[in-house]
Structure 1
Amino acid sequence: MHVHPYRLLILLGASPAVLTETIWSLARQQTPPWHPVAVDVVTTGVGAALLDARLLGRPRFHPVTGHALAPVDRWTPFCRDVLGGAPPSLRVHTPHRSDGTPLPDIRDTDDDARFADLCYDLVASRTRETEALPVIGSLAGGRKTMSAHLMTAFSLFARPQDRLVHVLVNPPERERDPEFFYPIGEHGEDARLDRIELLFPRLRSLPGTGLPAAAHEDPARYVRERLAVQGTPAPPARLTCRLAPRAAGGCRLDLEDATGTLLETVPLRPTDAATLLVLAEATIAHGDRVPNTALVENAAIEARRAAVVYHTGRLEAPAPWGTTDDLSKHVSRLNARLRAYPLAGAHLPVQTRPLPDATAYGWLSPLPPLRVHTHQAGTDAPGADAGWPFEHLPLQTRPPAA
């Protein structure tokens, strides 16, 4: 019997059964049957632990709760019964924190960015050769944002032979049954699997839209730079960060057009203003995004943060960035404030880029020219006599705007 080979790229959440359900459907619900020669599983730390224990039979501890997961090898007999032989090659891919540990789950925008970059890079890698085996992507597992990123990746990189599928399990109680992995035996005889072949735009195949070399050299950056600006308003021509005590109007970020017309104003906490200015200074000096490890436990960085806060009339320096988690929380808080405003939210949130042993912070493209103004009385603020420790963002003293 002829068997059609393919490579499976599948998202998994907390249910490893999605893997066996998808392979079973492709092998048993079409003619000729399709059998995977390689499987790429994209999941989180929690998903990887559950896959290891509940499908591959490897002893594992739950990464969040710490309790032992009972190992059961369902994979070997499944491959023997459904595929008629030894298991295909299987690789598990998880996004990692800056300390190298697997990300347990997708909980915030930074986590999502790490997963998205992994997804774009992996799909681009597996579809690089135009005549290679077809890649079938499965969106059935994981969070909705994970599925959205996989579909985006396939829309950009998929070749004519590649497919996207989703598997529905009925009745619903079978989907919730921890012992159900595919229709067999007492836990699956009444189950029905419906495979959905998903339609998606194949931009790579459109005439005149071939992928440039940059798309495969750095897929994640290519996707973000090309897609982030679509459907967004034009960026501001310049930015002005105004530092003042609360009684004099407080901190704010003004977004202006080329004529100086005010487009939008974003009120900022003093610590948020400090985060913005410190990261802007660092990226200008570095010429690109900056590793988080270079920003923590750094006396020069803390001096800049303190100077910003002092110029708002605060008497105490902000709590130092002692760990990368401290930094991440401040960046997330700044981004939340920026995203509350349409223009700032479209162009100014700080972006992350996973590195082998760190996380880089910065922007997709250079920020518009950024000026820093202080309230005239701000020169008497505590710490002002220590100077303004920014090289690329000079401080201008001017009366507050009327």
Structure 2
Amino acid sequence: MKHHLLAMLGLHPKVLTETLYGLCVKRGIAITKVIGIASGVARQKIVSELLNPVTGEFYKLCREYPECFTGIQFSAESVRVARLGDDEIADIANSRQSQAYLDLIMRTVMEMTAHKEVCLHSVVAGGRRTMSVYLAMVMQLLARPQDHMYHLFVEPWEAETNSDFFFPPRQSRPMTTYGGLAFDAKDVLVELVEIPFLHLRPHVPAELLRSPDYQDILAWVQREVNVAPQLLPLSIDVDQHRILIGAIPISLEPAELAIYWYFAEKSAKREERVAREYYEGYFEKPKADGHFSRQASARMKSLYETLVQRHGMRSRFLNAFNKEGRIDLEHLRPHFSNLKRKISEKFLDEDFNRWYVVSAIGPRGDTCYGIRLDREFIRLPEARL
């Protein structure tokens, strides 16, 4: 596992060296890449105080503890500044500049969490408070279970306010504060406190993560929270050719019920390791020729025959299957529409009924189909086949 660090940085660049000391020296975590986000004004100070090859405190830290900083990447290009148009933002002073930093943090976190073999460590101790708040919120939406977020504490406080202190050295180094109080840099306690936070990313639909927008993801989370307590169990009544959402019956034609039964079965049998919102992991996707797989088609056909085995109404739906026994998407679309109409007639709230209809997820040409409802709400008929 590789370990990368994302830090919000401001006019006190010591936050970065203190954080690296806490992670690499005290915890033994081998950080190999550092990205900082800062204002334009802060970036100049970061470069001058940390990145001078001779006097820069970042290089001093690496020389002081060489065994802890092998192969670490950090340079002036690693410090990112948000832009409005072609201009770097010198400091955050209005809502447009604030939004630009939120967008930059979103893009950076997505980039740094793109590979599962990388663990992201983030620190909210530096930079403008707005930036730290944004990072904390974005981490809740986009961080994965393996990622971490920290706040930084330095004790005694005299060291925190001393502009010459950047990390505890190996040897004694007496220092004094502006008020004349003495302390030894070697004895300063640098502590990273891990911040527990919600990890919502495994639950965010894949289509929202392709080009993530904070407001869009936040709105999705709010809808999920609002609707979740209202969800009702879904059951399939084979004998009466209907589904029940809670106690509300919805009568369906045999073909509609067979199709719906198939997709409900797929959702009910989703493996526990597959997140409900990872629709690509268990929804059904047509092949390149527009037909569903032989296995999916055969199951729909079998369910249909179970429903009509005592009736003479079989030929029309069965004629939709080709010589290979596969059915194409175009034959199912009208049934999807009818199912949605019948469910919507009983439940007018779109935020509610979207859990029960057969949904299309993903861009054109790469769309998968299924029922969003969590498996714990789905009651399948007893096996008849």
Aligned residue number for residue 111 of structure 1: 97
Aligned residue number for residue 356 of structure 2: none
Task: Note the residue ranges of structure 1 that are not aligned, 5 or more in a row.
Answer: 59-70, 233-402
Q: Could you tell me which of 186, 190, 194 is aligned with 2:174?
A: 186
Q: Which structure: greater helix fraction?
A: 2
Cα distance in 1 for residues equivalent to 2:144 and 2:66:
26
The residue identity in structure 1 corresponding to 2:11 is A
- Change in Cα spacing, 1:96 to 1:133, as seen in structure 2 (3 Å) is same
- Change in Cα spacing, 1:72 to 1:37, as seen in structure 2 (3 Å) is same
Cα distance in 1 for residues equivalent to 2:134 and 2:222:
13
Identity of aligned residues (%): 25
- Change in Cα spacing, 1:93 to 1:194, as seen in structure 2 (3 Å) is same
Contact in 2 for aligned 1:79/1:87 (Cα 8 Å): no
Aligned residue number for residue 218 of structure 1: 212
Cα distance in 1 for residues equivalent to 2:224 and 2:94:
23
Report how far residue 128 of structure 1 moved: 2.1
Aligned residue number for residue 97 of structure 1: 84
Structure with larger Rg? 2
Secondary structure (helix, strand or coil) at the match of 1:189 reads helix
- Change in Cα spacing, 1:227 to 1:176, as seen in structure 2 (3 Å) is farther
Aligned residue number for residue 37 of structure 1: 32
Pairing of 1:11-30 with structure 2 (within 5 A): 11-30=8-27
Report how far residue 112 of structure 1 moved: 0.8
Task: Note the residue ranges of structure 2 that are not aligned, 5 or more in a row.
Answer: 176-184, 227-385
Cα distance in 2 for residues equivalent to 1:112 and 1:165:
22
Q: Is 1:195 matched up with 2:186?
A: no
Report how far residue 23 of structure 1 moved: 0.7
Cα distance in 1 for residues equivalent to 2:40 and 2:225:
34
Pairing of 1:250-265 with structure 2 (within 5 A): none
Aligned residue number for residue 147 of structure 1: 132
- Change in Cα spacing, 1:222 to 1:181, as seen in structure 2 (3 Å) is same
Contact in 2 for aligned 1:57/1:73 (Cα 8 Å): yes
- Change in Cα spacing, 1:112 to 1:223, as seen in structure 2 (3 Å) is farther
Cα distance in 1 for residues equivalent to 2:97 and 2:139:
21
Contact in 2 for aligned 1:124/1:216 (Cα 8 Å): no
Aligned residue number for residue 159 of structure 1: 144
Report how far residue 97 of structure 1 moved: 2.5
Q: Could you tell me which of 31, 35, 56 is aligned with 2:51?
A: 56
- Change in Cα spacing, 1:228 to 1:12, as seen in structure 2 (3 Å) is farther
Cα distance in 1 for residues equivalent to 2:15 and 2:114:
26
Q: Deviations over 1:108-157 (max 9, x none)?
A: 2111111011001111121123x221000100101222111111111111
Report how far residue 18 of structure 1 moved: 0.5
The residue identity in structure 2 corresponding to 1:77 is K
Contact in 2 for aligned 1:75/1:87 (Cα 8 Å): no
Cα distance in 2 for residues equivalent to 1:190 and 1:83:
20
Cα distance in 2 for residues equivalent to 1:217 and 1:35:
30
Report how far residue 224 of structure 1 moved: 5.9
Cα distance in 2 for residues equivalent to 1:118 and 1:224:
17
Contact in 2 for aligned 1:11/1:142 (Cα 8 Å): yes
Contact in 2 for aligned 1:54/1:73 (Cα 8 Å): yes
The residue identity in structure 1 corresponding to 2:73 is S
Report how far residue 77 of structure 1 moved: 2.5
Secondary structure (helix, strand or coil) at the match of 1:168 reads strand
Q: Output the aligned Cα RMSD.
A: 2.5
Report how far residue 72 of structure 1 moved: 3.3
Cα distance in 2 for residues equivalent to 1:35 and 1:181:
19
Pairing of 1:69-84 with structure 2 (within 5 A): 72-84=55-67
Q: Could you tell me which of 1, 7, 10 is aligned with 2:7?
A: 10
Q: Deviations over 1:179-218 (max 9, x none)?
A: 110012334123111211001111124xxx2432232323
Q: Which structure 1 residue ranges, 4+ long, deviate > 3 Å from structure 2? A: 218-232
Deviates more, 1:80-89 or 1:164-173: 80-89
Q: Deviations over 1:284-331 (max 9, x none)?
A: xxxxxxxxxxxxxxxxxxxxxxxxxxxxxxxxxxxxxxxxxxxxxxxx
Secondary structure (helix, strand or coil) at the match of 2:110 reads helix
Secondary structure (helix, strand or coil) at the match of 2:30 reads strand
Contact in 2 for aligned 1:44/1:106 (Cα 8 Å): yes
Q: Is 1:47 matched up with 2:58?
A: no
Report how far residue 9 of structure 1 moved: 0.5
Secondary structure (helix, strand or coil) at the match of 1:134 reads strand
Pairing of 1:130-145 with structure 2 (within 5 A): 131-145=116-130
Contact in 2 for aligned 1:7/1:134 (Cα 8 Å): yes
Cα distance in 2 for residues equivalent to 1:72 and 1:81:
13
- Change in Cα spacing, 1:224 to 1:161, as seen in structure 2 (3 Å) is closer
Secondary structure (helix, strand or coil) at the match of 1:89 reads coil
Report how far residue 87 of structure 1 moved: 5.9
Aligned residues: 210
Contact in 2 for aligned 1:55/1:73 (Cα 8 Å): yes
Secondary structure (helix, strand or coil) at the match of 2:201 reads helix
